[in-house]
């Protein structure tokens, strides 16, 4: 047999040259990922997307609102209110001027005389009495007349009401005085025990002290202007004992 020559050794292959890798920045990676995502979203949405056109209705021009006319009744009411306000202001100023010029004075209430006719007790707490006073009303004004529209007079002993009387209304001219008799009759008027004992002691000592309170509504007239106000009078009177009790001393004060 023939012998085969030996095979030559295989040639040795050199390894392929390595490529030098360049560093990639993080911004490029983020941008590339965004691009791939956008491409994928476009590819997925492209076959299913349907284009629609929005149809806008035709725009109509805005109408400007027409100004509303004011109701004539409102105008009439406003004019009346204005006239009424002006009249009030005029009368107020006129009243102030007249009062500053004339300087009206307050009427005077006084008690020039009084009589204590009776005081006795049915029991320690119940009193009976008869008392008469003479009231004097004076108008000190020189240019103004006075009208007493309401007059109430009350009799007190130690701040306890014993009797009350009303006087008929009357008018007074300038610088005029009027005397009015007022009779107080007490019948079974209750008094606390301490006040009843005090009254009995004063009667025994021949000195009885009463308080008289008057409330009067007065009206004065100055031309076409009328002014009304309240007067409050208080008098402390000292009497001798009954049955012939007479006025010994008095002190009267009148205020508005």
User: What's the pLDDT tens digit per position in 238-254?
Assistant: 999 998 999 999 999 99
Residue 215 has a CB neighbour count (10 Å cut-off) of: 13
Q: For the chain, count helices (H), then strands (E).
A: 3, 9
Domain boundaries, the chain: 108-255
d(CA 60, CA 82): 46
What are the pLDDT digits (tens) for 144-175? Answer: 889 999 999 999 999 999 999 999 999 999 89
Query: Taking a C-beta distance cutoff of 8 angstroms, is the pair 114, 121 a contact?
Result: no
What are the pLDDT digits (tens) for 175-234? Answer: 999 999 999 999 999 999 899 999 999 999 999 999 999 999 999 887 677 888 999 999
In CATH, the number for domain 108-255 is 2.60.40
pLDDT at site 44: 46
Residue 209 has a CB neighbour count (10 Å cut-off) of: 15
What are the pLDDT digits (tens) for 91-108? Answer: 778 777 777 777 788 999
């Amino acid at each position: 047999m023939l012998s085969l020559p030996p095979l030559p050794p295989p040639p040795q292959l050199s390894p392929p040259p390595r490529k030098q890798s360049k560093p990639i920045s993080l911004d490029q990676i983020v941008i590339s990922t965004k691009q791939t995502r956008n491409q994928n979203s476009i590819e997925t949405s492209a076959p299913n997307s349907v284009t629609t056109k929005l149809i806008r209705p035709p725009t109509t021009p805005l109408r400007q609102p027409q100004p509303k006319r004011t109701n004539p009744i409102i105008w009439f009411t406003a004019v009346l209110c204005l006239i009424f306000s002006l009249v009030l202001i005029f009368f107020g100023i006129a009243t102030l001027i007249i009062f500053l010029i004339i300087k009206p004075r307050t009427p005077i209430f006084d008690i020039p005389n009084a009589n204590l006719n009776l005081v006795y007790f049915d029991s320690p707490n119940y009193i009976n009495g008869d008392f008469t006073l003479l009231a004097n009303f004076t108008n000190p004004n020189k240019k103004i007349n006075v009208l007493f529209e309401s007059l109430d007079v009350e009799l007190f002993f130690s701040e306890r009401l014993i009797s009350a009387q009303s006087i008929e209304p009357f008018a007074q001219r300038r610088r005029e005085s009027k005397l009015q008799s007022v009779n107080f009759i007490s019948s079974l008027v209750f008094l606390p025990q301490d006040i009843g004992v005090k009254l009995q002691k004063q009667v025994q000592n021949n000195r009885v002290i009463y308080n008289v309170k008057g409330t009067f509504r007065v009206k004065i007239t100055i031309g076409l202007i009328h002014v009304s106000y309240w007067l409050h009078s208080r008098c402390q009177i000292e009497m001798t004992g009954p049955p012939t009790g007479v006025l010994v001393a008095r002190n009267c004060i009148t205020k508005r």
